[in-house]
Amino acid sequence: QSVLTQSPSASGTPGQRVTISCSGSSSNIGDNFIYWYQQVPGMAPKLLIYRDNQRPSGVPDRFSGSKSGTSASLAIGGLRSEDEADYYCAAWDNSLSGWLFGGGTKLTVL
């Protein structure tokens, strides 16, 4: 089944470490790279992680990505109030010959 599944919400307090997960299948995450985007409400998505675990220049090293099999995770360390946003995973799907986005995880900083 060609979907990327994310938990709808996550939360943490300032300074904490939180992890957001993304579950897929062999036709997407299992065979292609995973990408993570941060979207502050009303703003354009911003690339956080590419090629599973690479950070574009300017993205703090508090953000890290990992992948195992058909699942991937985004970890945010030293949580800050400005990290409150929606986070999306994305991957190419071989069966669909197209891009899949996860349903998004809304991160709340308590």
Where does this chain bind another protein (CB under 8 A)? Answer: 32-33, 35, 37, 39, 43-47, 50-51, 56, 88, 90, 92, 96-104
Give the three-state DSSP class for 81: helix
In the complex with another protein, which residue's Cβ is closer, 17 or 40? Answer: 40
Closest distance to another protein from the beta carbon of 39 (Å): 8
Instruction: Find tokens 């300032």 and name the residue.
Output: 14
Q: Are the beta carbons of 87 and 101 closer than 8 angstroms? A: no
Q: Closer CB to another protein, residue 1 or residue 13?
A: 1
Measured from the CB of residue 18, what is the shortest distance to another protein in angstroms? 20
Q: How far is the CB of 82 from another protein (least distance, A)?
A: 19
Provide, rounded to whole angstroms, the least separation between the CB of residue 21 and another protein.
16
Non-local (6+) Cβ contacts of 86 within 8 A are 38, 39, 40, 41, 104, 105, 106, 107
- The string of DSSP letters for 87-99 reads EEEEEEETTTTEE
Pick 16 or 95: Cβ nearer another protein? 95
Q: What does the block give as tokens for 96?
A: 């669909």
